[in-house]
Amino acid sequence: MEVSRAIAVTINGTEYERDVEARKLLIHFIRDDLDLTGSHIGCDTGNCGACSVIVDGVLVKSCMMLAVQADGTTIETVEGLAEAGELTPLQQSFSDHHALQCGYCTPGMLMSATALLRSNPNPSEAEVKKALQGNICRCTGYWNIIEAVKAVGK
């Protein structure tokens, strides 16, 4: 057993090697150690989903995973969505549908919706709602977010 260990993770195509304490949550590692501040923290109970990232293709809340558990994984965060400065259709759709106001939940929403659209390119409204249940938004009431995701599906 050890209180810290060296880990290597690939995030948005860049490989990072760091020593981390075993107690450090993945979200703190991403935000504080790597300065990738796009993923946010909105609660301390795993409810809000603002910290959602995709680890080896699986959507997770990075506040309920230890950084040491990410050793050897490939992680996608919101900063990696737009390629060459070109917004993804989903990001553009969020803007077109006014699916964000303060923008704090948006990175997590985008990661959840991205994961959904990969497994289900043309989701129904019910499927979109179910897929976004783990992400809290306090500004929009979700309606425009749901529309934005559905629009990309169509």
Partner 1 sequence: MLLREVEYAKPSSVAEALTILAANDGARALAGGQTLINVMKARAASPDGLVDLNGLAELKGIDLGADGTLSIGPMATYTEICNSAEARARPILGEVCAQIADVQVRNRGTIGGNICANDPTNHLPPLLAAIGAQMTIAGAGGERVVPAEEFFIGVYLTAVGPGELLTRITIPAGKADGFAAVTLGADGTCIANAAASLNGSLRVAVGCVGAVPLVVHPASADDDAVREAVRGAGIDAPSDVHASSEYRSHLAEVLSVRAARQATQRAGT
Partner 2 sequence: MSNTVVTPEKVATPQKGWAGQSVPRKEDKRLVEGEGVFVDDIKRHGMGYIFFVRSPYAHAHITSIDVSKAEAIKGVYGTLTGEEVAALTDPFFQLSTPPGAHLKDFALAVGKVRYVGEAVVAVVAETRELARDASELVDVEYEPLDAVTDARHAQDDGAPVLHDDSGSNLMWEGVYEWGDLDAAFAEADKVVKISELHFHRFNSTPLETDGALVEFNRGTGQWTIYTNNQFPGFAAIMMGPAMRTGLDKLRFVTQDIGGGFGNKITSHPQLVACCLLARKLNRAVQWTEWRTDFHMSMSHGNERWFHDTEVAVKSDGTLLGFRTKALDDAGAWLRYEPLGGVIWAQVTPGMYRWRNIRLEFTQVATNKAPVSPNRGYSRMQHLWFTERVIDIVAHELDLDPVDVRKKNYIRTEDMPYETPNGCIYDSGDYAQMLDVALDLIGYGAVEERKAEAASRGKLVGLGIGSTLDSGTNNFGQSRMINPELQFSGNNEVATVKLDIFGEIVVTLGTTPQGQGHETTAAQVVADILQCSVDDVHVRAGHDSYWNSHAGFSGTYASQFAVTGLSAVKGATDMLAAEIKKLASAVFGGVPVEALELAEGGVRIKESPDAFLPFMACGAIINANNAGLPEDLGVTLNCRYVYRPPFQVPDVEKKFGNLTLTYAAQVHVAVIEIDPETGYYDIVDYAAVDDCGIRINPQIVEGQVMGATAQALGAAVHETFEYDEDGNLLTPNFYDYHVPHALDMPPLRTGNIESPSPFTPLGTKGMGEGGGAGIHAVCAAVQDALRGHGDAIVWDSHNPYHRVWEMLQHPEKTREGVTVS
- The residue ranges that bind partner 1 (CB under 8 A) are 1-3, 5, 21-25, 28, 41, 44-46, 49, 52, 58-61, 63-66, 68-69, 112, 115-116, 130-131, 133-135
Given candidates 18, 21, 71, 150, which one binds partner 2 under the rule CB under 8 A?
A: 21
Q: How many other CB atoms are there within 10 angstroms of residue 71's CB atom?
A: 14
Residue 75 interacts with, from partner 2, partner 1, none (CB under 5-8 Å by kind): none
DSSP output for 107-131: HHHHHHHHHHHHH-SS--HHHHHHH
Residue 18: CA count within 13 A, CB half-sphere: 20
Secondary structure class of 42 (helix, strand, coil):
coil
45 binds partner 2 (CB under 8 A): yes
The pair phi, psi for residue 9, each rounded to 5°, is: -130, 150
State the residues that interact with partner 2 by CB under 8 A: 12-14, 21, 23-24, 28, 31-32, 35-45, 47-48, 50, 77-82, 84-87, 91, 94-96, 98, 100-107, 110, 128-130, 132-146
